[in-house]
Structure 1
Amino acid sequence: MAKLTATQVQSYARTAAANKKYSDGNGLYFCVRKSGMPYWMLRYTSLNGRREATLGQYPSMTLAEARLESSKMQLQLQQGEDPLAIRAIETIPEIQNVNQLFQDWYAKDLSRRLKHPNIPKRVFTKEIAPVIGQLPIQAVRPTHVREVLERIRESNRPTIANDTLMYMKQLFRHAIKLDLTLNNPAAAFTVDDAGGVESSKDRMLSKEEIHYAFSVFHTHINSFGRDNYLACCLFLVLGVRKSELCEAMWREMDLTAGVWDLPKERSKTGVPISIPLPRQAIAWFNELQIRACGSPYVFPARRASHRPHMGPDTLNRAISKLFGREPGRKKQPPNKMGKLEHFTVHDLRRTFRSLAASLGIAGNVAERCLNHKLKGVEGIYDRHDYFEERRIAHQTVADVVEPLVNFEPASQHHTGGR
């Protein structure tokens, strides 16, 4: 078949019927379509099958330019490469620094693989990015990794230090997969270089410790915050997870019926659960609803934030501050807790379990109160939800907790932020 001429191409573009192809030989076609500009197309066969690659539009790309581009692609085919596959690689956004590397890791891996990808994202944003985010990937050295870890260690956050090291190792393994670097600058570091081997987490508060801690909360209510106070009360009587309560919405609550319907999307187990509310919790939620001022969230964000609800670190930071610990500050606040051993929000959940056991509540009922899946044979055969048993359990624990935490707030403390 004779090759096309520039004159023919010009004529076809002006007069040819729509949706017609004119061959120039060697798989190169001049294509006219019903709407839009005419274009050049190369048809070829590779290991991926028969394919069509658009080269460019006419008249922006002339006949001579189309032939030249076609020749380049034919050469790629002779070398065993697929031109469209090469083009796809070339259109991938260039990853130059650590911030861009994390964005790619988050989009292509974390957001697909993890149920809560916001956790590593938060660690990267707060701990890693301020130190190495703007650095070119190959410029990151082990000394930079050490700087990140030392900043966290100085603020006395061993768990965060260990998590940060883990995420840095994974992040630079992702860079190696993308052929962006040959080395992982975090590879040689161990937990000893970060937060150290963490002891078994078995902190539970005694009744005396609960009363003392909440008396300190009450004394410093202006700085600690009434919302934080009520949240800690609720953790003790409900035993729920931190995110389940801090991100709760009013549409999940039926305070008249005394039930909180936790949806599967917010449950760690991926299964919805109805949580019976003791009368004390209902009263606390009623107060929180007034304090929420129409927000759809039980604990709305009190400061400008990208989150509409209480942040994941808010409560633990508020508690730690009373213990004389404030991450990121050289001058630490005074210790208001005296000799009381430090505790976290999760320790309040663990304390609920301890109280339940001490009050004679059956283990399987207490485990369902914590929204744990029952293990082994019991988990397979026992599908009972124990709702009524859980209602009694929560009320029993709440009756014990109430006099330990029930410090009436002064009138001026009913409003204001956390």
Structure 2
Amino acid sequence: MATLNAKQLTALQKKGEPCRESLGNGLYFRVSNSATATFEVRYSIYGKRRFISLKKPYPALSLAEARLKAAEIKMMVKEGEDPLEHRKLDSVKPFKLLDALAEDWLKECDKRIKTSYIYRRVYQKDISPILGGIATTKIKPLDIRVVIKSIDQSGRPSIANDALNYLKHIFRHGIKLGIVETNPADAFQYADAGGIEVARQRALSIEEIKELFIVLTANKDQVTRENYLAIALLLSLACRKMELMAATWSEFDLDKGIWIIPKERTKTGVSIRVPLSTEVLGWLSELEIRSAGSLYIFPNRRRSKRAYVSPDTLNAAIAKLFKEDKFNFAHFTIHDLRRSAKTLLASLKVPPHISERCLNHKIKGVEGVYDQYDYFDERKEALFKISSLIAPYVN
């Protein structure tokens, strides 16, 4: 019996009468009441006869393409796979794009890693624009190389290493969920990205700190007063950047001169009381006025989902000044201010065990287990010395 050709199928569709016509090899042409025409494939598996509709309607799916699809389905059945069950699994499989898989991994990180916002920032800024819209199963090692090389060539080798590390974890997450079978990032090492990292040793001397504030004052059109005071506070309080930048006014008792950093925002997972000197209280009082009733000390000045200032704000401001050759000393990052504070504490003859607690470092070993004293008075004396030392340079 002669099979129908494309011209005859079009005529059946236009006629609009419901029908199902065999085209051979289990392929059928079906017209519904609405004159919509589709192809179906009949197959038998495990003693059951079943029909599966091909997704595209006719003529978007041509007769020749339908025959190829039918052959693929028959091969799947021959290998013991049920095409209908396979389609059900595909329909409930999330994370088709890398953005979706990465978001699921990032949410898992949010539950257990305090600094997961860093992972999210690197992904959104450096990975997503290149790979985020690509199907997870289609990403190849060459695509991974494009990402890490583009970051490294922008002069951020440590971020290139971080991005490679995050991509490895994202695809391992995908393997665990059955989304992908291989990890295209696993073949790469840090040598392929930003290279082996050496621990930073940069700390600003008191002379460099003096010049820092001179340059910031001279470029106040580029560095806001809020950012200027944030740098003064980071040096004086020896705290981590986001412990301060995400702080709310409810954490401060300005009358008693105490800031309580909640455990949710400390790296050690332990809340700490930070003593506030007269100089620091003065800077905070100015920031309270500038925050204009916000819950946050450093509210976001732009429209954003984040209520407080971006984690990149301070580094971006400093990086721009270095790019314009405004400083006459070696490059530094905002995190180096914390190391600078520790160096200042050492120069002021503050004992190491006190300076370590000023920085809220987790004390290792037996001492960390048994010494639960928070050294508040000793830390107060030490931190007051720093703020007194740098206050003359802060305008």
Pair 1:355-2:341 in alignment: no
Name the counterpart of 2:375.
386
* Residue aligned with 1:118, SS: helix
Name the counterpart of 1:342.
331
| Distance across 2 between alignment mates of 1:288 and 1:216 | 21
Shift of 1:383: 1.7
Q: Which amino acid aligns with 1:239?
A: A
* Residue aligned with 2:259, SS: strand
Name the counterpart of 2:201.
202
Name the counterpart of 1:230.
229
Deviations 1:241-276 (A, max 9, x none): 111000010011111111111111222211111100
Q: 1:158 to 1:90 in 2, by over 3 A?
A: closer
Q: Which amino acid aligns with 2:139?
A: V
Pair 1:254-2:243 in alignment: no
Name the counterpart of 2:141.
142
Q: Which amino acid aligns with 2:199?
A: S
Deviations 1:269-301 (A, max 9, x none): 111111000111100000111110111100011
Name the counterpart of 2:311.
312
| Distance across 1 between alignment mates of 2:156 and 2:145 | 15
Q: Which amino acid aligns with 2:94?
A: E
| Distance across 2 between alignment mates of 1:138 and 1:373 | 42
* Residue aligned with 1:224, SS: coil
4+ residue runs over 4 A deviation: 86-93
| Distance across 2 between alignment mates of 1:364 and 1:129 | 43
Alignment of 1:248-327 (within 5 A): 248-324=247-323
Q: 1:88 to 1:96 in 2, by over 3 A?
A: closer
Name the counterpart of 2:104.
104
CA contact (8 A) 2:114 2:264 kept: no
Q: Which amino acid aligns with 2:196?
A: V
| Distance across 2 between alignment mates of 1:153 and 1:373 | 32
Name the counterpart of 1:94.
94
| Distance across 1 between alignment mates of 2:366 and 2:170 | 39
- TM-score, length-normalised on structure 2? 0.75
Across the aligned residues of Structure 1 and Structure 2, the Cα RMSD in angstroms comes to 2.1
Deviations 1:94-136 (A, max 9, x none): 33111121123234x3233323332222221111111011111
| Distance across 2 between alignment mates of 1:187 and 1:155 | 23
| Distance across 2 between alignment mates of 1:359 and 1:88 | 69
Q: 1:128 to 1:199 in 2, by over 3 A?
A: same
Shift of 1:90: 7.5
| Distance across 2 between alignment mates of 1:147 and 1:215 | 41
Q: 1:392 to 1:134 in 2, by over 3 A?
A: same
For structure 2, the 5+ residue unaligned runs are 1-46, 49-85
* Identity within the alignment, %: 45
* Residue aligned with 1:261, SS: strand
